[in-house]
């Protein structure tokens, strides 16, 4: 019946057999089309082989055939949970290459929307992490608030997911007239909603038992793997591009970066919860200071940036995104390379999963918060 | 990939503007990398150093372990196909000094072999597999260069510029 | 003779119909109640308040194609749902819903119920094995480990009640509770019984064998259509049975202060009201908690519940032997319970609560204040 005969290891009296379990690409908790080949001894994982590439669309190659303005839409589709952060990274790369100034107001709008996108992304994580741990209610709380953010995005950008709103030189259009008061109301609701969801899940005894001390990664290992974002910060490394190399106008805001100390799944979870609160505070400060003025520096539709290469770093909800852009002076980039945060975070999965239980595998994978759209590109 | 240069125009070069950390690195690198005869340069705001492909692993190790550099974080590894040569590009970052640099190595498309840096940073693992997949660069000493993004038995290197894209018929 | 058989058949059919109606109601209540917990409306569109939604679900399930993987062991695969379903149905033969409303009032009723409910495990393991699916195998073995372990505290808790009532006859057990319900005399037993019961049902936080996010439905992963719905039916009837047993053993069954215990219709109403309340608690737990891991579940069962159940029996024995007043036993029970909760929380945590290991680091303002 079930082919379990992989390798028979008799230890004294009992003859146990290891079983190969193919987790994914179609499995409810692999967050997309990720596949892990697990070798399990009963419930214990003795070997893991991760497989990616099921969603490989050749985005980087596609970029070489599009003019710069079109590439923004391709970046939307990398990390489809945090589209605006991706758009921003690419636009900043082009602007840096061309030494293009972005109007003050556009910078504020960008930061507000990117931070809002970060909250939306972490809310999604909050819900799915609850599901991974077996709790079915947190996702409803998270989605209630995420829905409001999506509506806000729709009001500003015209789309709920693939916005194509941040353009080279600014943003597509100015925000609606009642933006400030709607955002203020939204922030209040989000604060309350996050607190509520936090009380529901974060400190439950069962949840703590399921995530505390599970999937621990030491700071040195996390750095060696190139992990970034909450995954790295949970291990106690205070590395955040917004602080280390402030881009856009992030140096004008007062905000903290939540760091964990154990580097386990719970820390990775709670770092994100705290990050949502910090993001809301950034948005509040940005709303307070937002000046009037134009929202885009007019450019030609078909841009021809100067010859050269540029690398920009940005802080995505999942970690550090990098865009390496090589231009030969033509209207299409010569080469675009994306440094996807989930890709690097996911690399540590084998080390994290060895000698854990099958149930932990789900929680640990969930705590890394991967988006396969950007892992596979 | 059709390139549309406007005729009669010379393409301008991107302006180089190194910040303080970049300038410090620019002064520092010739000493640190002296053994490898690096060709130093700058790309917008980052210092670049081009070394021989065979020296890459050792250069990386030196950069990681030298106390002034401490490039302990491999941010990005990628390959750019310049047709006459392939360029393997390493973006290095230091979590202690918070500075960044670019290490480059040029290899010929036919003999694209670079020593692996997985022993320096474990995180190079999938980056190297991906580059092997898409550009056919062999990373000498890599523990497992199985296809990562492409399926087993895929023909050709789709990242390279001379890769023939299959024609799709309307349906 | 013939009349007896006819009566039995009629009773069985009535039972089956009644249980089907109960299952439909449970499905509706669960969806509606969970919906409310999750700030949703639950089913709204099929019938008034979505009341016909379970019927629509049932029709859908029956109309669905019964898929069969070519690798399954057909005989075991087809028989497994029945092996799960029949015992679940059989235990209702002796569960009284009012003083006189019971098919066969067996003197060894409790013994009979326990003996039959253990049988379903075989069906789950068989389903897992025959499905020829690795998730199903994992789920089947999880089910075996879980159900066998939690059978023991369940039986031991029931034993405490049998000692108090000096009987295994359920009607007798209820009648003994006409002064003080056993929930007050033996709260420890109630807690053990309820936790073990939840684990027997495979409901949150013990839904480890069908865990959707881990083993994708466990033993049921390969089943579809009518065969899957047999498992589904069994699960809900079982839920109802555990709730009914909780009410019968610990909450005085159909007795309620001030209401006559011998009018069938009132008794039935009281019994159903109590049972549905217990059911709501089960659903409430489902909407609140995450899932335990299999090793945590096993250590909770063997290291906590089984010893506690023995302590419970010992205390009950002492109470009966020395003829203490009832409040002594309840005080002792509460004390043991409190001590266990305190000890568990000490054992599970390494640092005082709340263990927030995340702090806010802000290099620009003063060096990192606590979050």
pLDDT (tens digit per residue) in C56-85: 988 888 888 888 888 888 888 888 998 998
pLDDT of the residue at C25: 92
Task: State percent of chain C over pLDDT 90.
Answer: 17
What is the domain extent for residue A347?
A: 59-376
Model's pTM, two decimal places?
Answer: 0.88
Residue of A nearest to B45 (CA): A310
Q: What is the mean pLDDT of residues C235-256?
A: 90
Same domain, A271 and A335: yes
**Contact between residue A87 and residue A163 where contact means Cβ atoms under 8 Å apart:** yes
Between B17 and A113, name the one with better pLDDT. A113
pLDDT score of A212 more than 90: no
pLDDT confidence of C348, banded at 50, 70, 90? low
Which tens digit of pLDDT belongs to each residue from A15-73? 677 888 888 788 888 788 888 888 888 888 888 988 888 888 888 888 888 889 889 99
What sign results for the dihedral spanned by CA atoms A367, B95, A166, A337? negative
* C185 near A CB under 8 A: no
| A-C contacts at Cβ under 8 angstroms | 152
> Which is it for strands B46-51 and B100-107: parallel, antiparallel or unpaired?
parallel
Which tens digit of pLDDT belongs to each residue from A235-273? 888 888 888 888 888 888 888 888 888 888 888 999 999
* A148 near B CB under 8 A: no
Pick among C69, C136, C199, C213 to test the A interface (most A CBs inside 10 A): C213
pLDDT of the residue at A120: 93
**How many angstroms from the chain centroid is the CA of residue C321?**
32
Same domain, A187 and A279: yes
Longest C-alpha distance within chain B, in Å? Answer: 61
Same domain, A136 and A246: yes
Per-residue buried b or exposed e for C2-39, using 16+ beta carbons within 10 Å of the residue's own CB: eeeeeeeeeeeeebeeebeebbbbbbbbbbbbbbebbe
Q: How far is C31 from chain A (nearest CA, A)?
A: 13
Picking from C50, C49, C58, C47, the residue whose alpha carbon sits closest to that of residue C23 is: C58
* A64 near B CB under 8 A: yes
Touching partners of B (3+ C-beta pairs < 8 Å)? A
Q: What is the mean pLDDT of residues C148-161?
A: 90
**Contact between residue C248 and residue C92 where contact means Cβ atoms under 8 Å apart:** no
Which tens digit of pLDDT belongs to each residue from C110-124? 889 988 888 888 888
Q: What is the mean pLDDT of residues C235-250?
A: 91
Pick among A50, A240, A323, A337 to test the B interface (most B CBs inside 10 A): A337
Same domain, A139 and A262: yes
pLDDT score of A125 more than 50: yes
Residue of B nearest to A226 (CA): B123
pLDDT of the residue at A215: 87
Contact between chains at A204 and C290 (C-beta distance less than 8 A): yes
pLDDT confidence of A122, banded at 50, 70, 90? very high
Tell whether A328 is covered by a domain.
Answer: yes
**Contact between residue A266 and residue A212 where contact means Cβ atoms under 8 Å apart:** yes
Picking from A352, A349, A362, A355, the residue whose alpha carbon sits closest to that of residue A46 is: A355
Q: Which residues of C touch A20 (CB under 8 A)?
A: 134
Tell whether A110 is covered by a domain.
Answer: yes
Average pLDDT, chain C: 85
Average pLDDT, chain A: 87
State the Cα–Cα distance between residues C58 and A48, nearest whole angstrom. Answer: 40
Which tens digit of pLDDT belongs to each residue from C14-57? 888 888 899 999 999 999 999 999 888 888 888 888 889 889 98
* A334 near B CB under 8 A: yes
pLDDT confidence of C243, banded at 50, 70, 90? very high
Domain count, chain A: 2
* Structure tokens given for B98: 């918070």
Contact between chains at A135 and C291 (C-beta distance less than 8 A): yes
pLDDT score of C354 more than 70: no
Q: Which of A310, A339, A376 sits opposite B44 (nearest CB)?
A: A310
Q: How far is C78 from chain A (nearest CA, A)?
A: 15
Residue of C nearest to A268 (CA): C358
Q: What is the mean pLDDT of residues A148-167?
A: 90
Per residue, what are the HEC states of chain B? Answer: CCCCCCCCCCCCECCCCCCHHHHHHHHHHHHHCHHHCCEEEEECCEEEEEECHHHHHHHHHHHHHCCCCCCCEEEEEEEEECCCCEEEEEEEECCCCCCEEEEEEEECCCCCEEECCCCCCCCHHHHHHHHHHHHCCEEECCCCCCCCCCCCCCCCCCCCCCCCCCCCCCC
pLDDT score of C368 more than 60: no
- CB burial of residue B85 (10 Å; 0-12, 13-18, 19+): middle
**Contact between residue B109 and residue B81 where contact means Cβ atoms under 8 Å apart:** yes
Q: Where are the domains of chain C?
A: 1-63, 71-347
SS3 of residue A102 by DSSP: coil
SS3 of residue A347 by DSSP: helix
Q: How far is A243 from chain C (nearest CA, A)?
A: 8
pLDDT of the residue at A160: 87
pLDDT of the residue at C366: 47
* A281 near C CB under 8 A: no
**Contact between residue A332 and residue A65 where contact means Cβ atoms under 8 Å apart:** yes
pLDDT of the residue at A306: 86
Superfamily of domain B16-140: NADH:ubiquinone oxidoreductase Nqo5 subunit (3.30.460.80)
Q: Where are the domains of chain B?
A: 16-140
Region label for A355, one of left (φ > 0), alpha (ψ between -120 and 50) or beta (otherwise):
left
Q: How far is B8 from chain A (nearest CA, A)?
A: 13
pLDDT confidence of C97, banded at 50, 70, 90? confident
Angle subtended by helix axes C187-201 and C264-288, to nearest 10: 70
| DSSP-derived secondary structure letter, A176 | P
pLDDT of the residue at A7: 47
pLDDT score of A2 more than 60: no
State the Cα–Cα distance between residues A220 and B64, nearest whole angstrom. Answer: 13
CATH number of the domain at A158, please.
1.10.645.10
Between A231 and A32, name the one with better pLDDT. A231
* Structure tokens given for A200: 């529901």
Angle subtended by helix axes C74-90 and C225-250, to nearest 10: 30
pLDDT of the residue at C356: 64
Per residue, what are the HEC states of chain C? Answer: CHHHHHHHHHHHHHHHHHHHHHHHHHHHHHHHHHHHHCCCCCCCCCCHHHCCHHHHHHHHHHHCCCCCCCCCCHHHHHHHHHHHHHHHHHHHHCCCCCCCCCCCCCCCHHHHHHHHHCCHHHHHHHHHHHCCCHHHHHHHHHHHHHHHHHHHHHHHHHHHHHHHHCCCCHHHHHHHCCCCCHHHHCHHHHHHHHHHHHHHHCCCCCCCCCCHHHHCCHHHCCCCHHHHHHHHHHHHHHHHHHHHHHHHHHCCCCCECCECCCCHHHHHHHHHHHHHHHHHHHHHHHHHCCCCCHHHHHHHHHHHHHHHHHHHHHHHHHHHHHCCCHHHHHHHHHHHHHHHHHHHHHHHCCCCCCCCCCEEECCCCCCCCCC
State the Cα–Cα distance between residues C161 and C170, nearest whole angstrom. Answer: 10
- Chain A stretch 212-251, residues whose beta carbon is closer than 8 A to a beta carbon of chain B: 221, 223-227, 237, 239, 244-245
Q: Which residues of A touch C36 (CB under 8 A)?
A: none
Tell whether A2 is covered by a domain.
Answer: no
Which tens digit of pLDDT belongs to each residue from C170-221? 888 888 888 888 888 888 899 999 999 999 888 888 888 888 788 888 888 8
Q: Which residues of chain B register pLDDT less than 50?
A: 1-3
State the Cα–Cα distance between residues B48 and C17, nearest whole angstrom. Answer: 80
SS3 of residue A55 by DSSP: coil
SS3 of residue A44 by DSSP: strand
pLDDT confidence of C255, banded at 50, 70, 90? confident
Q: Which of C211, C358, C363 sits opposite A134 (nearest CB)?
A: C211
pLDDT confidence of A6, banded at 50, 70, 90? very low
pLDDT of the residue at A191: 92
pLDDT of the residue at A279: 92
pLDDT of the residue at C369: 43
């Amino acid at each position: 019946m079930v082919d379990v005969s992989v390798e028979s290891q008799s230890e004294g009296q009992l003859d146990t057999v290891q079983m190969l379990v193919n987790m994914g690409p179609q499995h409810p908790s692999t967050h997309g089309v990720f596949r892990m080949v697990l070798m399990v001894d009963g419930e214990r994982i003795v070997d893991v082989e991760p497989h990616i590439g099921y969603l490989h669309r050749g985005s980087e190659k596609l970029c070489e055939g599009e003019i710069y303005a079109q590439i923004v839409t391709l970046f939307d589709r990398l990390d489809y949970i945090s589209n605006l952060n991706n758009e921003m990274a690419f636009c900043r790369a082009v602007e840096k290459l061309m030494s293009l100034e972005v109007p003050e107001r556009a910078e504020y709008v960008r930061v507000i929307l990117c931070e809002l996108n970060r909250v939306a992304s972490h809310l999604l994580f909050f819900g799915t992490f609850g599901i991974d741990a077996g709790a079915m209610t947190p996702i409803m709380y998270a989605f209630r608030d995420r829905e409001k953010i999506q509506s806000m995005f729709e009001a500003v950008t015209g789309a709920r997911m693939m916005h194509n709103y941040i353009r080279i030189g600014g943003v597509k259009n100015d925000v609606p007239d009642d933006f400030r008061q709607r955002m203020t109301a939204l922030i209040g609701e989000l604060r309350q909603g996050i607190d509520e969801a936090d009380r529901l899940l974060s400190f439950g005894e069962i949840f703590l038992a399921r995530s505390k001390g599970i999937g621990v990664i030491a700071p040195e290992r996390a750095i060696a793997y190139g992990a970034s974002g909450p995954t790295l910060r949970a291990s106690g490394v205070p590395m955040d591009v917004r602080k280390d190399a402030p881009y856009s106008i992030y140096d004008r805001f007062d905000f903290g970066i939540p760091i964990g100390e154990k580097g386990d799944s719970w820390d990775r979870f709670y770092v994100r919860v705290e990050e949502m609160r910090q993001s809301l505070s950034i948005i509040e400060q940005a709303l307070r200071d937002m000046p009037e003025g134009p929202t885009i520096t007019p450019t030609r539709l078909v841009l021809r940036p100067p010859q050269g290469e540029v690398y920009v770093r940005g802080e995505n909800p999942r970690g550090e995104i990098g865009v390496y852009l090589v231009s030969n002076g033509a209207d299409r980039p010569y080469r675009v390379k994306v440094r996807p945060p989930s890709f690097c975070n996911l690399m540590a999965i084998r080390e994290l999963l060895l000698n854990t239980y099958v149930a932990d595998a789900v929680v640990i994978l969930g705590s890394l918060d991967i988006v396969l759209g950007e892992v596979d590109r | 990939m059709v390139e549309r240069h406007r005729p009669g125009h010379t393409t301008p070069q991107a302006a180089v503007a190194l910040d303080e950390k970049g300038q410090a690195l620019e002064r520092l690198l010739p000493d640190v990398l002296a053994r490898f005869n690096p060709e130093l340069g700058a790309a917008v705001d980052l210092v670049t150093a081009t070394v021989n492909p065979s020296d890459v692993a050792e250069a990386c190790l030196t950069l990681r372990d030298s106390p002034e550099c401490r490039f302990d974080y491999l941010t990005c590894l990628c390959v750019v196909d310049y047709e006459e040569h392939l360029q393997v590009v390493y973006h290095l970052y230091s979590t202690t000094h918070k500075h960044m640099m670019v290490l480059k190595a040029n290899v010929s498309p036919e003999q694209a072999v670079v020593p692996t840096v997985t022993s320096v940073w474990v995180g190079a693992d999938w980056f190297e597999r991906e580059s092997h997949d898409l550009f056919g660069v062999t990373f000498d000493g890599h523990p497992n260069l199985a296809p990562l993004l492409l399926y087993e038995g895929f023909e050709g290197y789709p990242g390279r510029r001379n890769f023939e894209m299959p024609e799709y018929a309307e349906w | 003779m013939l009349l007896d058989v006819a009566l039995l058949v009629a009773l069985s059919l009535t039972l089956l119909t009644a249980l089907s109606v109960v299952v439909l109601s449970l499905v509706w209540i669960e969806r509606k109640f969970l919906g409310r917990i999750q700030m949703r409306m639950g089913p709204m569109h099929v019938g008034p308040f979505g009341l016909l939604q379970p019927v629509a679900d049932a029709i859908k399930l029956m109309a669905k194609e019964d898929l069969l993987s070519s690798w399954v062991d057909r005989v075991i695969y087809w028989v497994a749902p029945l092996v799960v379903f029949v015992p679940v149905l059989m235990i209702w033969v002796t569960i009284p819903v009012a003083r006189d409303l019971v098919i066969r009032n067996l003197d060894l009723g409790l013994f009979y119920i326990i003996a039959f409910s253990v049988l379903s495990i075989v069906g789950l393991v068989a389903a897992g094995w025959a499905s020829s699916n690795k998730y199903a195998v994992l789920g089947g073995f999880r089910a075996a480990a879980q159900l066998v372990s939690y059978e023991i505290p369940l039986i031991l808790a029931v034993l405490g009640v049998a000692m108090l009532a000096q009987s295994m006859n359920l009607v007798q057990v209820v009648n003994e509770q006409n002064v003080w319900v056993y929930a007050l005399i033996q709260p420890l037993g109630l807690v053990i019984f309820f936790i073990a019961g939840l684990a027997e049902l495979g409901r949150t936080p013990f839904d480890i064998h069908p865990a959707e996010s881990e083993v994708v439905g466990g033993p049921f992963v390969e089943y579809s259509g009518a065969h899957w719905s047999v498992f589904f039916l069994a699960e809900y009837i079982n839920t109802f049975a555990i709730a009914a047993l909780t009410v019968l053993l610990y909450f005085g069954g159909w007795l309620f202060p001030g209401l006559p215990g011998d009018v069938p219709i009132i008794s039935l109403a009281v019994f159903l009201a109590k049972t549905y309340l217990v059911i709501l608690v089960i659903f409430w737990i489902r909407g609140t908690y995450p899932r335990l891991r299999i090793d945590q579940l096993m250590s909770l069962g063997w290291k906590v519940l089984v010893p506690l159940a023995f302590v419970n029996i010992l205390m009950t024995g002492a109470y009966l032997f020395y003829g203490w007043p009832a409040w002594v036993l309840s005080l002792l029970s509460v004390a043991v319970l409190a001590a266990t909760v305190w000890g568990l929380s000490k054992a599970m945590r390494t640092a005082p609560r709340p263990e927030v290991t995340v702090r806010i680091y802000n290099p620009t303002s003063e060096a990192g204040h606590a979050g």
